Amino acid sequence: MLYFIGLGLGDAKDITVKGLEVIKGCSRVYLEAYTSILTVGKEALEEYYGRELLLADRDMVEQEADEILKGADVSDVAFLVVGDPFGATTHSDLVLRAVNAGIQYRVIHNASILNAVGCCGLQLYSFGETVSIVFWTDNWKPESFYDKIKGNRDMGMHTLCLLDIKVKEQSMENLMRGRKIYEPPRFMTVAQAAEQLLEIVQNRREQGEELAITEETVCVGLARVGADDQAIQAGSLREMASCDLGGPLHSMIITGHLHPLEVDMLRLFSGPESLKGLKMTGSSTYIS
């Protein structure tokens, strides 16, 4: 059996009892190591689980999947994923490879950012399409995520923005020279994401477009959701560009229409002036 096991969002103890029992009985245990991170490292997981973990980076999962599947038809193999196995990043390709090889699989779910984000007080059923915000470079500045945010805002829906992670990335020079030298890990902050969005807002304004969001749109920044030092801050997009929520991982929400209870919850995480851009429309909805 090939087991896909979610680890949750905080530390080693967030694994389910069922997941931990399975890990202890597997012949090999892989830790997917490129779509997300926990607040603790591989060594802490190994100590708590009582098992050696084999790191599965992007190259292994995408190009050497047969190595993971090897022997899973006659023994149990576990593939560990931070959050939920089918949360922000799916591993459908590995499932299909297992099925095509005649290997049974089973999924043990856990919390992911897609549901834990409700900790800020916004109602989960009021979220639209989730978007990813990537690191810009000097000559590559995609804006497609803005258009998805606009689509959600047009429907009054909130947008969860998952922020870029760069793990085991090579510089262009090392890539071209075939050198296996990797850049230090980078994790996008809420402030960096907000700065990019502010630049897009200005670009669209100069192009004469009707804006989906402005500098005063109410946003929520979140860091290390599920950990003991979880941080949440609500305020305008302009304020998000100067906030410091500490270490990774960060995510950000662009709000849509807000129910009064959602506004009351956001006030728990904002300064006295941070939500001043809200306006009431109708009898029970706020917009910014």
pLDDT of residue 263: 96
Alpha-carbon distance of 185 to 134, in angstroms, equals 14
Residues 6+ apart with CB under 8 A from 166: 135, 183, 185, 186, 187
Each residue's pLDDT, cut to its tens digit, for the chain (288 residues) gives 999 999 999 889 999 999 999 999 999 999 987 767 777 788 999 999 999 999 887 777 777 788 889 999 999 999 999 999 987 566 888 899 999 999 999 999 999 999 999 999 999 999 999 999 999 988 889 999 999 999 999 999 999 999 998 876 656 566 666 666 666 778 999 999 999 999 999 999 999 999 999 999 999 999 999 999 999 999 999 999 999 999 999 999 999 999 999 999 999 999 888 898 899 887 789 998
Domain shared by 87 and 180, yes or no: no
Q: Is 61 exposed, middle or buried (0-12, 13-18, 19+ CB in 10 A)?
A: buried
CA 51 to chain CA centroid, nearest Å: 26
Nearest to 227 by CA among 82, 35, 60, 65: 82
Q: Confirm if 183 and 135 have CB atoms less than 8 A apart.
A: no
Q: Is 108 annotated as a binding residue?
A: no
Alpha-carbon distance of 199 to 276, in angstroms, equals 22
Whether this model's pTM surpasses 0.85: yes
pLDDT of residue 177: 64
Alpha-carbon distance of 4 to 39, in angstroms, equals 20
Q: Is 250 annotated as a binding residue?
A: yes
Residue type, 287: I
pLDDT of residue 221: 98
Domain shared by 75 and 151, yes or no: no
Domain shared by 78 and 131, yes or no: no
pLDDT of residue 16: 97
Q: Note down the domain range covering 261.
A: 114-286
Q: Is 80 annotated as a binding residue?
A: no
pLDDT of residue 183: 65
pLDDT of residue 169: 63
pLDDT of residue 41: 83
* Cα dihedral 232, 237, 241, 243 in deg (nearest 10): -30
Q: Is 259 annotated as a binding residue?
A: no
What is the tens place of the pLDDT at every residue in 73-109? Answer: 999 999 999 999 987 566 888 899 999 999 999 999 9
Mean residue pLDDT across the chain: 90
Question: Count of H helices and E strands in the chain?
Answer: 11, 14
Q: Is 95 annotated as a binding residue?
A: no
Domain shared by 98 and 156, yes or no: no
Domain shared by 154 and 72, yes or no: no
- Which residues on neighbouring strands pair with residue 163, listed in sequence order? 133
pLDDT of residue 166: 81
**CATH number, domain containing residue 249:** 3.30.950.10
Nearest to 79 by CA among 130, 27, 141, 11: 27
Domain shared by 107 and 159, yes or no: no
Q: Is 14 annotated as a binding residue?
A: no
Nearest to 278 by CA among 288, 269, 268, 270: 288
Domain shared by 185 and 100, yes or no: no
Domain shared by 99 and 130, yes or no: no
Alpha-carbon distance of 42 to 56, in angstroms, equals 12
pLDDT of residue 172: 59
Total domains present in the chain: 2
Q: Confirm if 15 and 8 have CB atoms less than 8 A apart.
A: yes
pLDDT of residue 55: 86
